[in-house]
C-alpha cells in the first residue's frame, strides 16, 4: 500500500499535503518518494496564477503515465485546481479518478481507498469547513516546519483568486496552535514558520478576538530556543504591537514578510490595496528603528492593468529607497474570473517581462550591497544539508526557507563541526548575489 504525494504551490499547500499524508499514514498507507512504486498517486495542486495552473496540469499528466508504466491504479487530484475550475476539470482530465476541492481534504482516505465513484468532484463550501485541531502530519523535514494559523482570506484584492478558493478568513484557536507547536518542537523542529493568507490579521474573526501579537507572545513563551518566523503578513494588518513583540523576544525571528505589490497610489487603488507609498515608507522606517538589523521581504506585481511607465519608475525608485533585503516579483497574470480582468489598460506580456527583468536586475545589485555589510558578523545558522564533506548549506535567522538565499557553511579539519538539523554560530566571510558564505565559529 505505497502512496506518493506531489505537493505544488505555496507553503500553505505543503501543510495541507502533510495533513493528508498524516491521515493516510494513520489509515495504514506507507509513503514513497518514487511514484513508480505507488499504488495511488495524489497531486495537491495550485491555481493561483496561469503558470501555476499550467504546472499543475503538466504534473497531473506526467504522473498519470504511471497508470500504464508503474503500479498506480488510482490518481487523485486535490486542492486549488479543482476548486477553481469546478466540475469542468473532470471532463478535461479523464485520467484522474477523483477530485477534491479545498474544503474536502478530510475525505482523502475515502478518495484513496476507492470509497468514491470514479470521476467524483467533491467541492464542499470552504467556508463551512472546521479549522482547529489537526491530525498528525507526515513531514519530510525534521528540523523545520510550517505552522498554519488560519485559512482563507476576507480581503478583496482584484488580482487574487484565493478568497474564492479558500473562503473567508478562519483563524485557528490559539490553544490548538500552541498544542501543535509543542508537538512539532518535541519532534525535533528547530524553526517554525507561521503561515496563513493574511498572517498578521490572525484572530480578528474568532468569537473572542485575539491579536496576532498576543499569539506571538504566547508562542515565544512555549517554544524555548526554537525560531518562530511569520510569513505572508499584510501592510494593513501589521501593528506596532507585532513589531514590539518581535523586538522583545529573541526567539521571534527579526524577519518581516510584508507583500506590498506596488507603490504607485492609483495602481494600489485598482489592486484593492488600501494604503499609499508614504504609509509603506513610514512602516518600514518603524520596523528598522525598533528592530535594528531586521530583514524585510516583500513581493511586487508588474504589468498590472493601467500601470504606466511613470508608475513603474515610481516603483523602481521605491525599491531603491527601501532597499529590501529580500524581494520577489511577479508579472501580472490575467484570467477571466478575476475582477482585474475587467480593468482598462491591459499590459502586454512583453512589457510586463521587461519590467520584471529591469526590477530584478536592480534588486540583485541592492542585495549584493546589503549582504556585503554582513561580512564579519556572526549569525546563528540552521544547518540543513551537506554537499561536500566540509561544506554545508543552511539559513541564517534572516533567511526564510525556499524563498530567500542560503548560507554556505565551511568547516576546517580539526575545527568546530556543523551538524545537519542543528543551529551553529557562523562568521560571515564572503557573499554572493543572494547568498552568504561563512565558517563555523
The verdict on residue 136 lying in a domain is no
Q: State the pLDDT confidence band at 441, using cuts at 50, 70 and 90.
A: confident
Distances (CA, A) of 40 to 13, 35, 72, 93: 19, 8, 5, 17
In a domain, 139, yes or no: no
Query: Mean of the per-residue pLDDT values for the chain?
Result: 95
Whether 341 and 428 map to the same domain: the answer is no
Q: What is the pLDDT of residues 236-259, one digit of tens each?
A: 999 999 999 999 999 999 999 999
Please give the average per-residue pLDDT across 366-391, as a whole number: 94
User: How far apart, in Å, are the Cα atoms of 346 and each of 76, 199, 272, 304, 340?
Assistant: 36, 31, 17, 7, 9
Phi and psi at residue 59, to the nearest 5°:
-65, -45
Q: What is the CATH number of the domain that holds 395?
A: 2.40.50.140
Same domain, yes or no: 111 and 170: no
Q: What is the tens place of the pLDDT at every residue in 199-230? A: 999 999 999 999 999 999 999 999 999 999 99
The reply to whether 137 falls in a domain is no
Read off the pLDDT of each residue in 271-281 and give the average, rounded to a whole number: 97
* Same domain membership, residue 415 and residue 276: no
> 398: closest CA among 422, 426, 418?
426
Q: What is the pLDDT of residue 133?
A: 63
Q: What is the DSSP letter of 42?
A: E
Q: Does residue 231 have a pLDDT over 70?
A: yes
CA dihedral 169, 261, 325, 421 (to 10 degrees): 30
DSSP 415: S
Q: Which CATH number is 39's domain given? A: 3.40.50.12160
Q: What is the mean pLDDT of residues 368-378?
A: 96
Give the Cβ contact number of residue 308 at 10 Å: 13
Number of folded domains that form the chain? 3
Q: Is 430 exposed, middle or buried (0-12, 13-18, 19+ CB in 10 A)?
A: middle
Q: Does one domain contain both 91 and 219?
A: no
Question: Which residue is associated with the grid cell 473532470?
Answer: 90
Last residue of a domain, one of 312, 337, 372: 372
Residue 64 structural domain = 2-126
My answer on whether 183 and 251 are in the same domain is yes
pLDDT tens digits, one per residue of 428-438: 999 999 999 99
Q: What is the pLDDT of residues 127-144, one digit of tens each?
A: 888 776 666 788 888 899
Clarify whether residues 296 and 331 are in a common domain. yes
**CATH number of the domain within which 286 lies:** 3.80.30.20
Task: Report yes or no on 44 lying in a domain.
Answer: yes
Q: Which helix (H) or strand (E) holds 230?
A: strand 227-230
pTM for this model (two decimals)? 0.94
Q: What pLDDT score was predicted for residue 206? A: 95
d(CA 259, CA 128): 28
CA end-to-end span of the chain: 47
Model confidence band, residue 340 (pLDDT cutoffs 50, 70, 90): very high
Percent above pLDDT 70 for the chain = 99
Q: 399-418 pLDDT, tens per residue?
A: 999 999 999 999 988 888 88
Q: What pLDDT, on the 0 to 100 scale, is given for residue 434? A: 97
Give dist(CA 134, CA 104) in Å, integer.
14
Give the pLDDT confidence score for residue 132 in this predicted structure: 61
Return the percentage of the chain with pLDDT > 90, whole number: 90
**Is 278's pLDDT higher than 90?**
yes
For residues 390 and 307, state if they share a domain: no
Last residue of a domain, one of 100, 126, 152: 126
For position 137, what pLDDT does the model report?
Answer: 85
In the structure grid, which three cell numbers stand for residue 195, read together? Answer: 503561515
DSSP assignment of 100-168, as one string? E-TT-GGGHHHHHHT-S-TTEEE---GGGS--S--PPP--S-SSEEEEE-EE------TT--HHHHH-S
Q: What is the mean pLDDT of residues 340-364?
A: 97
Indicate if 283 and 414 belong to the same structural domain.
no
pLDDT band (50, 70, 90) for residue 312: very high
Look at residue 135 in the predicted model and tell me its pLDDT: 65
Residue from 196, 199, 23, 27 nearest 100 by CA: 23
pLDDT digits (tens, 9 = 90+) for 16-46: 999 999 999 999 999 999 999 999 999 999 9
Least confident range from 50-59, 127-136, 140-149, 277-286: namely 127-136
Q: Are residues 77 and 207 both part of a single domain?
A: no
Considering 355, 372, 389, which residue would you say is the last residue of a domain? 372
- Do residues 366 and 383 both lie within one domain? no
Task: Note the pLDDT of residue 117.
Answer: 86
Distance CA 384, CA 366 (A): 26
Reported as a single tens digit per residue, the pLDDT across 152-194 is: 999 999 999 999 999 999 999 999 999 999 999 999 999 999 9
User: Any idea what the Cα angle at residue 70 is, between residues 68 and 76, rounded to 5°?
Assistant: 80
Q: Which residue has the cell 506580456?
A: 349
Residue 132 lies in a domain: no
H-helix or E-strand spanning residue 427: strand 423-431
**Is 409 part of any domain?**
yes
Q: Are residues 280 and 360 in the same domain?
A: yes
For the record, the C-alpha cell of 370 comes out as 546589503
Whether 131 is in a domain gets the answer no
In a domain, 133, yes or no: no
Note whether 332 and 407 are same-domain residues. Answer: no
Amino acid at each position: 500500500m505505497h502512496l506518493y504525494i506531489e505537493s505544488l504551490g505555496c507553503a500553505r499547500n505543503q501543510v495541507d499535503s502533510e495533513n493528508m499524508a498524516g491521515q493516510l499514514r494513520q489509515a495504514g498507507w506507507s509513503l514513497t518518494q518514487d511514484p513508480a512504486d505507488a499504488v495511488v498517486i495524489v497531486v495537491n495542486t495550485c491555481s493561483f496564477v496561469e503558470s501555476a495552473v499550467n504546472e499543475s496540469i503538466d504534473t497531473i499528466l506526467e504522473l498519470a503515465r504511471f497508470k500504464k508504466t508503474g503500479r498506480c491504479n488510482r490518481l487523485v487530484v486535490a486542492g486549488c485546481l479543482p476548486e477553481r475550475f469546478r466540475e469542468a476539470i473532470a471532463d478535461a482530465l479523464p485520467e484522474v479518478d477523483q477530485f477534491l476541492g479545498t474544503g474536502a481534504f478530510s475525505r482523502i482516505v475515502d478518495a484513496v481507498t476507492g470509497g468514491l465513484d470514479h470521476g467524483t468532484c467533491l467541492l464542499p463550501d470552504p467556508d463551512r469547513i472546521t479549522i482547529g485541531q489537526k491530525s498528525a502530519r507526515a513531514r519530510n523535514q525534521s528540523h523545520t516546519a510550517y505552522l498554519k494559523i488560519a485559512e482563507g482570506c476576507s480581503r478583496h484584492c482584484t488580482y487574487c483568486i484565493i478568497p474564492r478558493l479558500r473562503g473567508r478568513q478562519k483563524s485557528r484557536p490559539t490553544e490548538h496552535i500552541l498544542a501543535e507547536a509543542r508537538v512539532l518542537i518535541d519532534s525535533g523542529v528547530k524553526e517554525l514558520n507561521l503561515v496563513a493568507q493574511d498572517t498578521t490579521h490572525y484572530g480578528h474573526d474568532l468569537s473572542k478576538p485575539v491579536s496576532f501579537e498576543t499569539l506571538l507572545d504566547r508562542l515565544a513563551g512555549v517554544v524555548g530556543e526554537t525560531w518562530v518566523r511569520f510569513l505572508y503578513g499584510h501592510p494593513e494588518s501589521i501593528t506596532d504591537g507585532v513589531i514590539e513583540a518581535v523586538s522583545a523576544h529573541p526567539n521571534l525571528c527579526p524577519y518581516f514578510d510584508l507583500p506590498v505589490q506596488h507603490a504607485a497610489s492609483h495602481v494600489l487603488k485598482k489592486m484593492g490595496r488600501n494604503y499609499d507609498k508614504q504609509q509603506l515608507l513610514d512602516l518600514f522606517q518603524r520596523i528598522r528603528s525598533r528592530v535594528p538589523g531586521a530583514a524585510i521581504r516583500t513581493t511586487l506585481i508588474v504589468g498590472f492593468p493601467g500601470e504606466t511607465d511613470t508608475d513603474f519608475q515610481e516603483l523602481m525608485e521605491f525599491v531603491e529607497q527601501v532597499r529590501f533585503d529580500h524581494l520577489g516579483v511577479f508579472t501580472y497574470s490575467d484570467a477571466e474570473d478575476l475582477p482585474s480582468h475587467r480593468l482598462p489598460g491591459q499590459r502586454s506580456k512583453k512589457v510586463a517581462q521587461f519590467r520584471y527583468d529591469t526590477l530584478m536586475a536592480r534588486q540583485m545589485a541592492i542585495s549584493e550591497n546589503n549582504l556585503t555589510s554582513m561580512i564579519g558578523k556572526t549569525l546563528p545558522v540552521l544547518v540543513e544539508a551537506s554537499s561536500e564533506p566540509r561544506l554545508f548549506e543552511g539559513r541564517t535567522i534572516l533567511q526564510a526557507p525556499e524563498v530567500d538565499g542560503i548560507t554556505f557553511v565551511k568547516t576546517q579539519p580539526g575545527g568546530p563541526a556543523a551538524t545537519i538539523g542543528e543551529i551553529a554560530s557562523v562568521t560571515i566571510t564572503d557573499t554572493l548575489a543572494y547568498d552568504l558564505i561563512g565558517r563555523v565559529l
